[in-house]
Chain A
Amino acid sequence: MAAADSPSAALRRRDLCSRGIRLAGKMRADVVDLLDIYVEQQGLDASASVAAVEGVPLAAVERWDEQTGTQRLLENLAAYRAFRALLAQMLEEQREQLGEADAGLGRALAAVLLQVSAFTYHLEELLRLESRGIPGEEGDGPPPPPRLSLFEQKLRGLGVLRELAQWAVRSARDLRQLAKPGSATGTAPGLAESP
């Protein structure tokens, strides 16, 4: 494996970051569309506030500009692994509730799940490139949540999709930071001060 700071590694990193940025952009667009479908099909109010749900990784971060490249990659990886499990769970619940009656929502969920899986792989590749060990997944994912009522399941699904949409934006920004020339995963490139 090339050293993390070799020219070929830098090129590979830039390439992975570019493709990752495009993937994150597509993922966000699809999640936004999925949110519209989900809200309508589940009979929810699009403006409803949803409290933070246990197990859903929050995109919100303080001092984002001070994060190192490795921190960015690790936080992204943990988040998308969690989303992969959450979306799989949503898909199963949706099939249980509606069966084939709502194939459109199921297909849209499955498509986003696929993109989340692809993005997770992308992040793992970037971590391998940085010669960082990839943290193992904890067991089979988050512990199964307590059985929720149908309405609670719907609200949790809304929370999952909203946070995923935020993460997709954050991930594109994170990868742009990583793709900056001279950006090493151990240092935190700061924002340029405005004049």
Chain B
Amino acid sequence: DSHIQYERVGADVTMKCGSMDWDAAVTWTVNGTDINDSRLNGSYLVLKNVDLLQSGQYSCYEGSSWHLKYQTYLRVGTPPKEPVLMCRSNNYPKGFYCSWHLPTPTYIPNTFNISVIHGTKDMVCEKDAVPKNRCHIRYLQLFSTVKYKVTLTVTNVLGKNFTTLTFDEFAIVKPDPPESVVAKPVPNNPRRLEVSWQNPSSWPDPESFPLKFFLRYRPLILDQWQHVELSDGTSHTITDAYAGKEYIIQVAAKDNDIGTWSDWSVAVHATPWTEEPKHLTTEAQITETTSASTSSFMAPPTTKICDKGAVVGSGAVAVCWTAGLVVAAYSVLFI
């Protein structure tokens, strides 16, 4: 006969070869491989301090005839630890869902049982087909101060464990992140980026249950985020971007009145609009081409700090440079 045998990690396991006598000559195999006689006590197979690797199909054959006398599938595992349970409403006010997992695997089958109580009322948490470790509940009441109590019990052959969550209706409201975040440069505006997004599709009624948003952005080369909170609308124009720098932008959402912020949306990247680079020319070239050409080149405005021949400092050495070059040099230094 063949069956499944569950044993705890670290246990000592003794297997009998069916109805064979203790002193019968037998051969034991595991997954088709012969087992060393050193593990036998007569015809019994003795496994001490079993570990996970010893799971497998164990078979016992009569010595001379090789008739199969006994077969079992040994599954080594552990009783369940306290499960991790989370409940959240990402589709308020329709309902909420609870999901769970074990902090460490048991390596043997487990069954999960969930109970939800609201005050004195038992509620049914309908299991989702996918994923399997999740169930959902429709709110029967809204705006209740009575807490919900959710108890999850996990059971396997080797033991059971449970955990309980108690919460009120508002505390678990957490929308999904905003969707379709788009960031675009604004033509002719080197310091602006236009960002737009959409409400998460799982939020059923944004008109009656409006969301507010939190936008964060930074240039890729810096670690510090800028933050903007927006109480309405699904777009925003960033007006203080560093010219020419690529930005990373994310958005989060929260119900206007209750609950917590969503996770951050998928990050988008954008660089503000920049002017097409101009062709630089020397003074000589400008002189050559002045009378003949209709160049589109326009030198950036410059301011001379001092005139030639002016004295700076005590050494009577004249130094003169243009402000535009100084600003450019400082910009490169600090960004």
Residues of A that sit less than 8 Å from B by CB:
25, 28, 49, 58-62, 64-65, 162-163, 166-167, 169-170, 172-173, 176-177, 180, 191-195
Contact at A191–B143, with CB atoms within 8 Å? no
Encode contact with A along B128-160: 1 for CB under 8 Å, 0 otherwise. Answer: 000000000000111111110000000000000
Count of B residues near A, CB < 8 Å? 23
B-chain residues with CB within 8 Å of residue A49 when the two chains form the complex: 147
Q: How far is the CA of A3 from the CA of B254 in the complex (A)?
A: 38
Assess the B257–A192 pair: CB atoms within 8 A. Answer: no
Nearest A residue to B258, CB-CB: A169
**Taking the complex as formed, is B190 at the interface, i.e. its CB lies under 8 A from any CB of chain A?**
no
A131 to chain B, nearest CB (A): 24
With A61-B141, A64-B93 in contact, is A180–B204 under 8 Å at CB?
A: no
Instruction: State in angstroms the CA–CA spacing of A63 and B93 once bound together.
Output: 11
Q: B185 within 8 Å of A by Cβ?
A: no
- The complex places the Cα of A194 from the Cα of B140 at a distance, in Å, of 17
B144, chain A: closest CB distance, angstroms: 4
* Known A169-B170, A192-B205: A59·B143 in contact at CB below 8 Å: yes
- Chain B residues positioned under 8 Å from A180 (CB to CB): 207-208
Say yes or no: A59 contacts B208, CB within 8 Å.
no
Q: A169-B257, A176-B210 are in contact. Are A60 and B145 (CB under 8 A)?
A: yes
Most buried by A among B91, B141, B170, B202: B141
Q: Write out the residue numbers on chain A whose beta carbons fall within 8 Å of the beta carbon of B140.
A: 62
User: Could you name 15 residue pairs across A and B whose Cβ atoms are closer than 8 Å?
Assistant: A25-B257, A49-B147, A59-B145, A60-B143, A60-B144, A61-B141, A62-B141, A64-B143, A163-B145, A169-B170, A173-B208, A173-B209, A180-B208, A191-B94, A194-B94
Instruction: Determine the chain A residues whose CB is within 8 A of the CB of B147 once the complex forms.
Output: 49
Chain B residues with CB under 8 Å of chain A are 91, 93-94, 140-147, 170, 201-202, 204-205, 207-210, 256-258
B145 touches A170 (CB 8 A): no
- Is B208 in contact with A194, judged by CB distance below 8 angstroms? no
B231–chain A nearest beta-carbon distance, Å: 10
- C-alpha spacing A169/B201, complex, angstroms: 23
Complex CA gap A78/B167 in Å reads 28
- How far is A195 from B94 in the complex, measured between Cα atoms in Å? 13
- A159 to B: closest C-beta gap in Å: 8
Quote the shortest CB–CB distance from B165 to chain A (angstroms): 14
For the A-B complex with A62-B140, A169-B170 known, give 6 more contacts whose Cβ atoms are closer than 8 Å. Answer: A58-B144, A60-B145, A61-B142, A176-B210, A192-B205, A194-B91
Nearest-CB distance from B254 to chain A (Å)? 14
Give Cα A64 to B209, complex, Å. 13
Beta-carbon nearest neighbor of A65 in chain B: B93
User: Chain A nearest CB: distance from B170 CB in Å?
Assistant: 7
Task: Provide the bound-state CA to CA distance between A163 and B145, in Å.
Answer: 7
Whether the Cβ atoms of B205 and A170 lie closer than 8 Å is no
A49 to B144, CA, bound (A): 13
CB closest residue in chain B, given A162:
B145
Minimum CB–CB distance for B288 against chain A, Å: 68
Interface centre among B91, B93, B147, B207, by most chain A C-beta atoms within 10 angstroms, is: B207
> Chain A residues with Cβ under 8 A from B145's Cβ?
58-60, 162-163, 166
Give the distance in Å from the alpha carbon of A49 to the alpha carbon of B201 in the complex. 36
Chain A residues near B91 (CB-CB < 8 A) = 194
CB distance from B148 to the nearest CB of A (A): 12
Task: Tell me whether A28 and B143 are in contact (CB under 8 A).
Answer: no
Q: Which residues of A contact B142 (CB under 8 A)?
A: 60-61, 64, 170
- Determine the distance from Cα of A61 to Cα of B142 in the docked complex, in whole angstroms: 6
Residues from chain A with a CB closer than 8 A to the CB of B257 are: 25, 28, 169, 172
Min Cβ gap B124→A in Å is: 16
A-chain residues with CB within 8 Å of residue B144 when the two chains form the complex: 58-60, 166
Closest-by-CB residue of A relative to B209 is A173
- Residues of chain A within 8 A (CB-CB) of B94 are 191, 194
